[in-house]
Amino acid sequence: MGQTKHFVVIGASAAGLKAASKARRRDVAMKITVFNKGTFISYAACGLPYYVSGAVKKQEDLYSNLIGVPRTPQFFKKMKDLDILIHHEVTSIDRKNKTVSVTNLDTGEKFTTAYDKLLIATGAEPVMPPIPGINLKNIHTLQSIEDAEALRKLVGKGKKGVIVGGGFIGLEAAEALVERGVETTIVEKMEQIMLGLDYEMSVMVKRHLESKGVDVRTSDGVVEFKGDNAGSLKQVVTENAVVDADFAVMGLGVRPNVKLAKETGLELGTTRGIKVDEYMRTSDPDIYAAGDCVETHHIVSNKPVFIPLGSTANKQGRIVGINVTGGRETFPGVVGTMIFKALDINVGRTGLTEREARAMGIDVETVIVPAPDRAHYYPQSKLIATKLIAEKKTGKLLGAQVVGMGVVDKRTNLFTALVTIGATAESLGNLDLSYAPPYSSPITPALTAINVLRNKLSGEARGISPLAVKEKLDKGEDFVFLDVRNQNEYDEVRIPRTTFIPLGELKGRMGELPKDKEIIAFCKISLRGYEACNMLEPAGFKDTKFMDGGVVTWPFELVTGNGARQPAATLTQENRMLSSSTSANQENRPNPPGA
């Protein structure tokens, strides 16, 4: 192995302790010291919302191993011979003399320690903007065990909680609060929650949360927190309203904790994370950095990004542990894969969104394909919607988003692999994926989406996105928006400003449609919309298209059977719409639009 005599680690969370543990496995003689400012080490930060909700019963479960033994400094000393000093803050780094200055926060003692190799794994810190009243009692983040403990004491039936920010952290916090009976409001300044999704996919998440009682307020930022005479939060004042609150959760994301690295003179990247090379080395070759404090490389966009995830931190820490013991392991980067659940809805994404790809100037083709996550007749079958983004010229898969109440993780992971290797749609249509009714349909939802994409790229199928249709409607363009569902479906819920002709009646009623106008057909998931196009074209209709995703993924206003208006279909409603299809409609057969 290498000649490192003393490996010093700053930070005892995912990246830091993974690096220390891997280094120990490769070199039993090396001295390894880990300094940690806080109390808890090697804890599952991603599990904090589930501790608040009560799904994780005991605090110790967040920092125990598989057999329930707490991962304390004593555990690491006994099992791995790692010296972990909690309540010890590294205050400065002397790169010339290769020492770190340390303060014992319990005693005030100050001392220096020499290193051969050093790892900065200082993580990230929550974004806390200077909003008036932000220092009131009962305003918390959700990043540490201490945060989770404080929130766990505040939540309960009848309480009112406000979540500031509709991102990853905010939505997981929302689930935790609702599970504990809290009246929950999410306030998001942007026009949509989950900016990591495209708009129409994020709306599916928003409507589902609303159907579960969450008040989701988009395009509405917080301007002030108001307290009572005791200094505790009482109200959250937004741009559009005043919301009563017993407590608030700040879910505005995190920024890399680079204070020490910056003071040391290490180079920062364009995202303000620590800049590292493929070996996780900083601008000083004897100092490494890993985890939530570093900037990394996006494999698809080929640009630097800051995407703090526990999975990435663990992989990067492992690479550091190999390299400080003489290895030459590299970290290729990320593709932005993430997954979460919020109140029975599962959300996965990877690669670029359509918005991100277009901002880069890429000409893209997209598809949105709803389908059951397993054979439609199987009892646990639930709806998922898949959106794919590909480069139009080459067919290269750039990104994917999978949203629904069914199984999305294995589809997200498949697309992650395909995006990472730069696969094209044309090369993927006959992947030999596993099939049995409890797990999938004969042609899996992933392959169905890929085949629809292939057909759109080749011109065999002409689809148009819901957003493009809405833009046409808003501009007042003269086209026929053709609903070809059956009467029962139409009576339950419909899109405004449409022409209704059931597919079974279309052949005899074609004379009601103008041949000189664009016709955009749709149904529940647009299989029958696609079939309508195939019927109309031979009859002389020259400009026919189907709308991707149909009613299921239409993210705008709908009209219910009694004439009431609702913002969009909820996933519960969408599952019912899908499962209520009759065999005559063949909506659930394994070949959605264009497949």
Side by side, the strands of the sheet bearing 183-187 are: 139-140, 247-250, 160-164, 183-187, 215-217
Cβ(236)–Cβ(162) below 8 Å: yes
DSSP 455-524: HHHHTSS-EE-HHHHHHHHHHT--EEEEE-S-HHHHHHEE-SS-EE--HHHHGGGGGGS-TTSEEEEE-S
Cα–Cα distance, 351 to 345 (Å, whole number): 21
Query: Nearest to residue 117, comparing CAs of 38, 34, 41?
Result: 34
Cβ(400)–Cβ(388) below 8 Å: yes
Which residue has 């009692």 as its token pair? 137
Cβ(482)–Cβ(519) below 8 Å: yes
Q: DSSP secondary-structure letter at 334? A: B
Cα–Cα distance, 276 to 119 (Å, whole number): 12
Q: From the CB of residue 507, how many other CB atoms can be counted at a distance below 10 Å?
A: 11
Strand partners, 225: 236
Q: Which residues of 468-485 are buried (b: 16+ CB within 10 A; e: fewer)?
A: ebbebbeeeeeebbbbbb
- Residue 272 sits at φ, ψ, to 5 deg, of 75, 10
- Per the annotation, the verdict on 46 as an active-site residue is yes
Q: Which two tokens stand for residue 432?
A: 């030999």
State the pairing for strand pair 345-351/397-404: antiparallel
Q: Is the dihedral of CA 202, 208, 211, 212 positive or negative?
A: negative
DSSP count for the chain of H helices, then E strands: 16, 33
Q: Which of 46, 293, 523, 533 is catalytic?
A: 46
Amino acid in the structure at residue 343: L
Cβ(384)–Cβ(571) below 8 Å: no
State the pairing for strand pair 364-372/383-391: antiparallel
Residue 206, helix vs strand vs coil = helix
Cβ(590)–Cβ(441) below 8 Å: yes
Cα–Cα distance, 467 to 358 (Å, whole number): 14
Instruction: Please count the CA atoms within 13 angstroms of the CA of 593 that sit on its side-chain side.
Output: 32
Q: Which residues have C-beta within 8 Å of that of residue 103, sequence separation ≥ 6?
A: 88, 89, 91, 109, 110
Q: Which two tokens stand for residue 443?
A: 């042609």
Q: DSSP secondary-structure letter at 108? A: -
Q: Which residues have C-beta within 8 Å of that of residue 494, sequence separation ≥ 6?
A: 483, 500, 551, 558, 559
State the pairing for strand pair 124-126/254-256: antiparallel
Amino acid in the structure at residue 528: R
Cβ(84)–Cβ(36) below 8 Å: yes
Q: DSSP secondary-structure letter at 572? A: H
Please identify every residue annotated as catalytic: 46
